[in-house]
Structures are given as structure tokens and as C-alpha cells.
Structure 1
Amino acid sequence: MWRYLSSISLVVGLGIILFPHHSTNENKPGPEVYSAKYETDQKLSLLQQDVALTDDLCRTQCSIDYVKMISQIESGESAAKVLGDMKTHHEKMDILIWSKNSQPIDQGVKAGEIPAAYKDQASTYLQEAKAAAEAGKHYQSPKFGAAQHVYFVQGTPSTDRNSSLIGVIHQDILHQVTDHQMKNLRLEPYPSEHRWKVESVDTDTLKDKVVDHPEDNQGTSHYHQNEVVVKFKQDPTEAQLAQIKSEIKATTMQKLGYTYVFRTESMEAKALMAYFKKWDVAYVEPHFLYLTNDYYDDQDTDSDTSDSSDYMDSTSSSNQATSIAPNFKPNDNLYGRYQWNLPLIETEKGWQLNRGNKDVIVGVVDTGVDLKHPDLQGQLLPGYNVISGDDKPQDDVGHGTHVAGVIAALVNNNLGVAGMTWYNKVLPVKVLDQTGAGSTYSVAQGIIWATDHGAKVINLSLGNYADSGFLHDAIKYAYDKDVALIAASGNDNTDRPGYPAAYPEVFAVAASDSKNNKAPFSNYGDYIDVTAPGVSIASTYPNNQYAALSGTSMASPHVTALAALIRSTNPTLKNKDVYQIMRDTAQDIGEKGHDKYFGYGLIDVVKAVQKAEEKTSVGFNWPHRWFRQMSLVSNKYASVALGK
């Protein structure tokens, strides 16, 4: 992975800054956007930008935490208790020291220890921090350390200038974001061959393909070597299933609806697909793998998500009980500086009209969610972990937590970031494992579970280039139950349709930057419905942290949140009506009308919510996309063997 990071220095000169300028061709991507070198360089530059912004988010939040601790100590609370509580709730605080002026550091009130490997370097910066704080100056050191062991030292003077708070902050989040974005933006060949016993194939020919370079991911699908998905035209009898299991020497068999997943160590997928030709099947296909498409408070942060549904703030019971000022700006302490995305799509003005409804549940089918993040407390319903089979969908990647924060991070709570909805509850469903990948079975099961447990909108920031009949059945199940399904288009800068985004029942989202330019990684094509911000998006991250990530994974939850606001405004609307409202009200930012880069344009919260107030669930014409997309949907694998 790190061989790609060595290339970052080569692309600094591209001139990409935090929020890129308008292109000179009026937002119309030029041919150079689609060269492999340009794409890779742009992605590496965005990765560097995301890491730098995450570093800044971390430092800003730590400064706020220090001020809070100083205020508590100065108001009479025990310094030992204040420091201990902060360290307990914020694992990134490796050591905190409350020191009186002219008092040696080692005599101050201390919580934690300096990491042994970096003790000498940390001690030097701690002395600098104490000297600066005693002089009345705020201090932050440069980063030191390497890989996941990166730190910085911070010092803050007390308000009476008689004491100071200094400490060492662990920034392993920078390594996590780097690793995350290498995969999310497809900068490393992923998944690597032989992980999960996975093989890669060209989506068109189904011939085996080795993925050695980032650009090889375009048009590549990944599947389990020794598994196959089968849907029979008529459910087999117990005797027939026993015969099948015996003949293929099946080690496991899973069933979801009318679809089976067979696993055997004695046959590979090619042979398994050939075997099932003799049975009366609707389709047989590889078991594909789906990947992510991303490129301190008075509340009890120790509370489990099972308690979250009991939390109600002063306005949530009626959802819109209090009005907000016409020029309202949320007081979330990272909002004004980092969240360019919400004002761009008129979210603040949209809050004047509707801020959501707790009865419109949003399913986040992803890597799970950090159940104890203080900026998500009260926003999470008890969910499900498909991977482990239990009810604790704890995020071990970060992707799902980031997605959930874009949708529903607490607003106006003097903490972190603001989500787009104030009152819509998130139903977290973990279908991707610690590598950020999940099987067709787990994704399909997650969609069905979320649907059966009340989700009216589902976010799918994941994808593959394989048109899986198994996954499509799950999508159709949810759609037929009136769920609005929103999906990220993918991060390979290709016009190849990715799934589930390209299914006609799904609303497909591309990504743009702060100047309404196409994000350099964003997939495109006729199936794109709308565009949303997807470059360096600040949101929640596990362990009480915040991170900036880029990807269509980050664009999709903006649209999901808008769909939830629309359904909160007018619950009578059907899912297809919600889709059409978002198309009709989008800001046209590309070629006039629908185009392959931006779809119908950038979402507009105010116009969409206003239109939802006006509409009923009748009078919409199902768009031509349905008929156009039907040509993409087929059970083409039913009679095709791998390698032909």
C-alpha cells in the first residue's frame, strides 16, 4: 500500500487545494479527466488532501477538548477526574498533564503515559508546549512518529495564566484514513488475490483477471472461488438438496428467500456453475464481492445503542416543535470551518421547512456504525450485524460511521459536525467486514433485514460491476415494499454501470466538489440520477473522532438524507415519487438537461422539500430511465460458465 504514498509528493504541484477552483470549460470534464494517469494523480492528491484535512479536524477538536477540560478544572472539578474522564472517552489522548507554572512537568497531575518508543521526542515537544503555554500561547507541535504511531503535542494556557494543560495526542486516524482511502478510491488493487479465497474476473467476459494496478479495477468483479449462488425455478425438495450437497461435497448451504449459496472445497465456481446446468434453475452465478464506494458533551457517551432509542431531545418528540431563525447557523464546532457541503445544497434553508421525522427510518447498509460516538447518540436504532449474526453492528472500518454522520450527526449540540437531518433515525446494518468487503449474500440479507425492520430509505455506499440476479432480487424486494434505495455510482472514473446503482429500482449518485466540478474519481453514465458533494467531506469517525473522506460513498448519504426529508415532509409519497422530486428539483450544473456526468444535476434541499409539500403520490410519470435500464438487467449468468 505504502508504495503509492511515495507518489504523493509527485502530485503536489497539480495545484489542488482544499476546495478546487472552477474548471475553465464550464464544468464539462475534458478528455484528460479520463486518462489513467490523470485519474491516479488526482486520486493521490485527494488522498493527501483528505489526510491533511483530517489532521486539521483532529487538531481543532483537541483544542476544543482542552478548553473544555480547563474550564471544568477552573470551576472546581478535580483535575485528576477531568483528565481521567477525557482519556477514557477519547482514546487518542495518550497523556494529559495539568501543570502549574514553574512546576516541573513530572510533578503535575497526570493521566496516561508517554509512548516508550517516542518518549525522547515527545518530551522535547512537551517542554516546548509548557514554555509556550506559560507565556500565554497556544502550542501544537509538528507530527512525529510513523505509520499508525503518529503523534503531536498540544499545550494550552489556563484562563488565569497560572497553569497549563499539555499532552500527547495519538493520531492513528491518519493511518486509518490513508488505508481507508487507498481502498475506497481504488488506489490499491483490492481485494488482493487469494484474500477470502477470492478471484477477479472481467465483468463482460467473466474471464479470470489479475488486478495489479489501480486502473485494473475498472470493469473488474470479484467472487468467491468455491461458492455459487443458485435460484431454482421451483424450490428443491429435501431429497434433491441432499443429492446436490452430496454430489458437490458441499461444506455449507445458506438460503435467503428462494436463493441458495452453496460452498464446497472440492469444486471451484466454474465447475459449480457447469454442474447446476442440469437442474431447473432461474439463474446460477458466482458469489460476488461488494466493496465500499468512498474515495465532548454532557450526554453519557458510554451508553449503548440499545439505549439510543430512549434518548429524546427537547424537540424530537414533535420533530418540528421549535422554529429556527431565518439566518440560522448550527453551533456544531466543526461546522463553519469544514462543512462546505451542506450550505452548497441549501441544507440550512431547507431546515426552515423540515428537519425530519423520527418515524421515517434510514437504513445504512454498510460496515456498521460506531454505536458510542457522542455525535450520534440518540440517532441510532438497534441494528443488525449480518457478518457475525448478532445485534451489535459495531463499525470496525469507519466507512459506515462516516456515512451515518452525513445523514444524522446531531445538529446544534456544540459538538463536532452537523448531519442533514435532525430527527430521522438511522438503522445500522453491518454487511461489510473489517476489510470493507462483503458478499452478495450479506448485502442482500442486509437490504432485506433493513426493509423488514422499518427502513423507508436505504443508503448503499457499496458496489460491484457484476449484475447479480441474487442482489437484484433483494433490491426488488425492498423496492416493491416502497423503500427508496440510494446508491453510490463508484470511484473508478468509468462509464461502466456499477451495481446496485445501475438497477432501475435504485437512485444512482455521482460526486462533485465544492465548485460543482465532477469529482475526478466519480463514475458516470446514462444511469446517473443526480450529483452530490463527495470531495473531502467531514463527518463522524470511530472512537469519538472526525475524518475527511472523498468518494461517491460520501455523496450518496447526502441524497439519502434528502430522500428522508422528502418522506418526512410528505409521507404519502411513493419511492418513485421521491426519486422524481429529486430529479426535477436538481440544479443543472452540466450540459443542459440530463447528462452522463451529473445526471439531472446537484441536489437542492429547499426546492425538493418545497415540491414534496405540494405533491401527492399520484400524477408522476415513471421516467424513461426505467425502460432504458431494463436492457441492463438480465440473468445473463444462468447459462454462462466462467472463463468462456
Structure 2
Amino acid sequence: MRRGGKLVKSRTLWSILGAASVLGALLILLFIPGSKQPAPTAEPAQPLRPQEENKAKHFTMQSDIQATDQLNRIDAKGHLRRMLNNNALRSPGQIKAYTQKEQKFHKHFQQVRWYNLKQNTMTDIQGLLPKMSKKDKKLITNHFQIAQQKLKRGETYDSPKFNVAGQPYFVVAEPSKDGKYGAAALVNQGILHEVSNHQKRNLRLIPYPKEGKFKVESIHADTLSDITVKTGHDNEKASHFYENEIVVSFQNEPSQQQLLDISKEISCETPRKLGYAYVFRSKDMDYLKLRSYFEQKWKPKYTEPHYIYLTNDRIHQSRVSSDSLPDGANAQVNIPNDLLFSEYQWNLPVIETNRGWDLSRGSEDVIIAVVDTGVDLQHSDLNGQLVEGYNIVDKDKQPLDDVGHGTHVAGIIGALVNNGEGVAGVSWYNKIMPVKALDGSGSGTTYAVAEGIIWATDHGAKVINMSLGNYADSQFLHDAVKYAYDRDVVLVAASGNDNTERPGYPAAYPEVLAVAATDSNQKRAEYSNYGDYIDVAAPGTNIASTFPGNQYAALSGTSMASPHAAAMAGLIRSLNPDLTNQEVMDAMINQAVDLGDKGKDKYYGHGQIDIFQSLKSVGAPEVPLQMWPGQTLRNLERELRKLNSSKE
């Protein structure tokens, strides 16, 4: 049967449990608790015309670059204050050793000056500075001189952004509490260029992926007719694929000799196999010719293009007001000391994360896989949070993030909490498994994503986050999703950022929890895809999180909403390991805060996730009524297994 638009996996039960099942169903029908009071109706943003959409995307990209600038300034000041508060750092030798160690892992701190303001001395520690002109050096010296004068007056300094050697920089300075010392830093802001380039792709402001590279083509998601993506508006109708590749599932497994014959006939190297399907890459045949060849000669179960999946993030700037927080979220409970939490992480209180930490902070036994661009394995705010992962793009290398997207997603899930640095993740203790299925362009194939899902499942992941998508329904990918679902994995995916009702995959598969995005006012984010397949919504606009190089960035998109829900699933499974994957998703859906039209709607699904209420519903000493039938059946099954084993 289906529930909330999602497939509920049927389970074989012993006949003696039938009565309990019927009784449980009757109780649910009779005693379903009333739904939460819905929030005021949130009118969805009307779809923008192509020209307006392009203008809006440029605006939001610029606003998020500004937010990233502010995040990095706050982070830099925090590092300087930690230096100043460390009483062991007073001699030039101690200061130099400490700073050089910091610069090794924070390469954007390219020059640090330590001032003994009482003795009027200065220690200068330079990192990897670019080659500069005399004019550039003079500009930097001027900013340091201004900083020193400010420090002597007991004031901080925060310079405007300026360019040196073609790169953006700023200088910040902080005095010690007693006024005896001061520290200033020259900080490289190359991250602003990285965020800009990253978001031009993800906002589809440039053709993405670039057609012609790796023989990439785009087709209409419904008709499979050729389409050229020129604007972001075009992307909502397009699916991308490798024009010289095809995915084939045969009626009967071909022999090695038959595979050799096929390879010779279509000018193909050894095909790749995953599950029951093969991927063939021809040197001189396009997809249409390949499809004709296989359908005429081999009569396969199915053939389909080898689709490319893209990241789903977008940029915007937004601040939360206390009035927009749900009841109880303003209470000063579980406020972590992470540097950026109070000012920038509106997203955690609004879904009752802080209150939820009273019930569950996660467990190392419940692993959350991130199938994405990889993760920065050396990020200090992810230290100890990662387990061994896998690089599908290059199997000889670690799953390092060369884009930034996967690191940002991982930080939302599990950045260290209460470490006085950076951001706080939704989970304290759930481990993150980085699975690199997307390459340096931020895109990946059906094969890579499917392999990532299967690998994560086989290596112990209990939750899989997929902040990626394509508008074509791939049987190949769906088989991998069903493989994971049938092994009790909770699958969570982003709905997409094209402000369209067109279903995106894997989010629209019935086994997957589809997540839309909301902003800080609990309104549907204007970029968020919508439709009947949406299950829940989560914060997605202007989300502060980790970024490669021990940095932090603000990004927006359903890519950012999805990991909130994935982390929430991890907290639930940590609190109540007996729940099945479907029961975890049901708990998330049933306890969502209703937004928009009363009941389930196509913009918010069942509503915005509520971590506290969902944990409360599954973790009480007495089993919640809606969970009673499944819990009772599992207990009876367990007792019968014990009874049967004792007889053997």
C-alpha cells in the first residue's frame, strides 16, 4: 500500500500474528491523534519568467557571497581571540610555532602579526603569499598600520575587501582583554570566487554540465527529444546524459563471449556492470544508434540513457526573526558555543533541534552516508565525525571534495557541536560516510550514484542523503534505491531548485523521503521544486556550514534542506534502533509542522520537520499509539524466534 505518497514495504508475517495486526489497525483508525494546528497559509511564489528568473538568481548569488564574506570574517576574528586568550602564547617563538601550525590547516590565513602593545614590538608570520607588486605590498602594509593604531586604542579592526595579485583579501585585528597584546591577520578570500563559480553551475546560470565535454547532451525529460540548455529556466525541462553511452538490462545474463561480441560490434571497451545492468560506452555510436542496436538484436528488459545527476543548491541571504520560531524554540536550552551558531544558524532552532538534543544527540552506531562530491577529510569542524568512505570517480583516491558541495552537506549533518568553532551540526554523534559519486564539475552518472547507494548500504549506512537529481526516471537508479530500501536504509533526497512541479529523481521514487526547502520565515523557498511527491520541507535558504580548507560558506537550495532531514533520521534511529526505515519516515512525516494549506500539499508535503516532536513520538517509555502495531508485531516475532531456536 502507499502512505503519504510513499511505498510501504510489505512484510511476511506469521499467521498467528494476524489478529494483532487487525487490532492494531482498528486502534489506529479509532484513536489517531489530532493534527497540529497549521501555520498561517503560506502563498507559494509564482514561477518567474526566464528573464526574471535569471535576474533573481544573479541577485541571490551576490547576496550569498556577501553572507560567506561575513562568515569568514567572524571565523577569522574567533581564531585571533583564541590566540590572545591563550596565556601560553606570549613569546615570539611560541607565537610563531602556533601560527605556522594554524596556517598549515587554514591556508587562507596568509599573514599574521602579533603585537606586544606595551613594549611596542611586533612578530610577523607569513604563510603562502602570492607574488605581489610593490603597490600590493604597500596596500597591505597600510591596512596593518591602521589595524595597529586601532589596537593601541583597544579597538578592533575590520577592513573593507580589497584585491591583491588578482585575489580578494581583508585584514582583521583584535585586542586582548587586558589591552597588552593584539593580533591582526591578512585573510585570503578566494572562497568567494569558489562560491561564485560553484553557484553559477548550481543555479544553471551557465550551461551545466558543459555540452561537448565527455560528449554530454541534454534531452527533454518527457519526450527525450533534443534540447539545448541556454538559461536556468530551460533546465527544469532538461535531463543530461552521455550521448555515446547506454544502460542495458538484459532478459538473460549475457556470457563473456557475447559481451566480447557486443563490444566489438559497437566499438566499446569492457562494459561496466552494476546489479543486473550494464553500461556500454561506444567510440563511434551515439545513444540512438546504440538503443536501436540493442533493441533489434538483444530484446533487453530496458535500455535508457546514462543520465548525469547534478547538485541541488542555490544562494540567497536571509536572517531569522524571533517571531518566526516555533513555540518553545526561543527557550535558552542547549545553546551550543559554536562561533557562528547564534548569529547565523537560524535553521537549527526553527526545526526544534536544540530541544531535540535533550532526547537524542545521535549514536556512533548509526552511520549517515553522504553520496555527493566527497568531503574535506581534514576540516577541523568535522574532526572525528567521519568513517571510511569510497571514491567512485577515482577508486585509487580518497573521497576528497573538489567542489565544496559535499563538505557543506556533511557539516549540516554533523559538524562538531560545542567545540567553540564554526558551526553546529544537527547531530552530535552520528558518523558520516563520505561517498564521492560526483566529480569536480559537481555532476555524476547514473552508474556512479547507483554504485554509491549500493556501496554505502553494503558498508553499514543506516541513512543515505542524496542532495542531487535529474528529471529523467532511471530504472537503473531505481533498482539501486530499492536495493537499499529493502535492506532497511532510510533514503533522503533533495527535490531540486528549478521552481517546477516536474518530479525529480531520486526524490520522486516512492522509497525515498523527498525534501523541499523553506526559508527563515517558514515560507516555501522560491527556488524549491514542488509536487505531490514532496514528503516534508526543511530549512534550505542561507545555510551556514563547513567548506573545504577549514572555511565556512552560506549556500541555499534543497541540497541544504535534505541533510537536515537525513540527520534527523539518524537521531531517530539512534534513539529507537528497533524502528524500520519506513517507520522512521512515518515518524518524520506524522510530526511535521503543517505549513501552507491544511494537510498535505504539493509545496510543503506534510509540513516542516520537527525534530523534538518526532523524537518524542518514538522515544517515550510507552510506545506511541501509532507505533503500537509494528512494535507489538516485532516483539512477538522476536519471542517466536527465541522459542523456535530453543526447540532446535
Q: Compute the TM-score of the two structures, normalised by the length of structure 1.
A: 0.85
SS at match of 2:342: helix
- 2:282 aligned with 1:293: no
Match of 2:193 in 1: 175
Decide which of 213, 219, 222 is 1:195's aligned counterpart.
213
Q: What does 1:310-459 correspond to in 2, within 5 Å?
A: 327-390=333-396, 392-459=398-465
- 2:477 aligned with 1:462: no
- 2:108 aligned with 1:92: yes
CA distance in 2: counterparts of 1:485 and 1:79, whole angstroms: 48
Q: Is the Cα–Cα contact under 8 Å of residues 107 and 128 in structure 2 kept in the other structure?
A: no
Percent identical pairs in the alignment equals: 51
SS at match of 1:250: coil
1:112 aligned partner, one-letter code: G
Q: Is the Cα–Cα contact under 8 Å of residues 202 and 219 in structure 1 kept in the other structure?
A: yes
Match of 1:485 in 2: 491
SS at match of 2:269: strand
Q: What does 1:44-123 correspond to in 2, within 5 Å?
A: 44-72=58-86, 75-76=89-90, 78-101=94-117, 108-112=123-127, 115=130, 116-117=132-133, 118-123=136-141
Decide which of 161, 164, 168 is 2:182's aligned counterpart.
164
1:406 Cα deviation after fit: 0.7
Match of 2:583 in 1: 577
Change in Cα spacing, 1:103 to 1:201, as seen in structure 2 (3 Å) is: farther
Match of 2:239 in 1: 221
Q: Deviations over 1:85-138 (max 9, x none)?
A: 221121111111223449899x63323365415323222212211221222211
Q: Is the Cα–Cα contact under 8 Å of residues 184 and 551 in structure 1 kept in the other structure?
A: no
Decide which of 571, 584, 604 is 1:598's aligned counterpart.
604
Change in Cα spacing, 1:52 to 1:535, as seen in structure 2 (3 Å) is: same
Change in Cα spacing, 1:209 to 1:182, as seen in structure 2 (3 Å) is: same
1:68 aligned partner, one-letter code: R
CA distance in 2: counterparts of 1:123 and 1:405, whole angstroms: 36
- 2:510 aligned with 1:494: no
Match of 1:231 in 2: 249
Select between 120-129 and 471-480 the one with higher mean Cα deviation: 120-129
CA distance in 2: counterparts of 1:403 and 1:249, whole angstroms: 40
Match of 1:29 in 2: 44
SS at match of 1:82: helix
SS at match of 1:265: coil
- 2:301 aligned with 1:282: yes
Q: Which runs of 5+ in 2 are unaligned?
A: 1-38, 315-330, 632-648
1:275 Cα deviation after fit: 0.5
1:73 Cα deviation after fit: 6.0
- 2:626 aligned with 1:610: no
Would you identify which runs of 4 or more consecutive aligned residues in structure 1 move more than 6 Å? 102-105
1:84 Cα deviation after fit: 1.3
1:509 aligned partner, one-letter code: V
Select between 409-418 and 500-509 the one with higher mean Cα deviation: 409-418
Change in Cα spacing, 1:541 to 1:102, as seen in structure 2 (3 Å) is: same
Q: Is the Cα–Cα contact under 8 Å of residues 437 and 452 in structure 2 kept in the other structure?
A: yes
2:350 aligned partner, one-letter code: L
Q: Deviations over 1:16-40 (max 9, x none)?
A: xxxxxxxx99411153x44334433
CA distance in 2: counterparts of 1:508 and 1:380, whole angstroms: 25
Q: Is the Cα–Cα contact under 8 Å of residues 186 and 492 in structure 1 kept in the other structure?
A: no
Q: Deviations over 1:347-390 (max 9, x none)?
A: 11111111111111111100111111111111100111011113
CA distance in 2: counterparts of 1:148 and 1:389, whole angstroms: 35
Match of 2:36 in 1: none
1:473 aligned partner, one-letter code: D
1:82 Cα deviation after fit: 1.9
CA distance in 1: counterparts of 2:558 and 2:125, whole angstroms: 43
1:63 aligned partner, one-letter code: K
Q: Compute the TM-score of the two structures, normalised by the length of structure 2.
A: 0.84
Q: Is the Cα–Cα contact under 8 Å of residues 73 and 79 in structure 1 kept in the other structure?
A: no
SS at match of 2:381: coil
Number of residues of Structure 1 aligned to a counterpart in Structure 2: 567
Q: Which runs of 5+ in 1 are unaligned?
A: 1-23, 296-324, 622-644
CA distance in 2: counterparts of 1:146 and 1:366, whole angstroms: 34
1:288 aligned partner, one-letter code: Y
2:186 aligned partner, one-letter code: V
1:217 aligned partner, one-letter code: N
> How well do the aligned residues superpose, as a CA RMSD in angstroms?
2.2
CA distance in 1: counterparts of 2:55 and 2:541, whole angstroms: 15
1:184 Cα deviation after fit: 2.0
2:412 aligned partner, one-letter code: V
CA distance in 2: counterparts of 1:45 and 1:146, whole angstroms: 25
CA distance in 1: counterparts of 2:524 and 2:164, whole angstroms: 34
1:210 aligned partner, one-letter code: T
Q: Is the Cα–Cα contact under 8 Å of residues 244 and 287 in structure 2 kept in the other structure?
A: yes
Match of 1:310 in 2: none
1:334 Cα deviation after fit: 1.1
Match of 2:321 in 1: none
Q: Is the Cα–Cα contact under 8 Å of residues 379 and 408 in structure 1 kept in the other structure?
A: yes
Larger CA Rg, structure 1 vs 2: 2
Select between 190-199 and 529-538 the one with higher mean Cα deviation: 190-199
SS at match of 1:508: strand
Q: Deviations over 1:239-270 (max 9, x none)?
A: 21111111101024111121111111111111
2:299 aligned partner, one-letter code: D
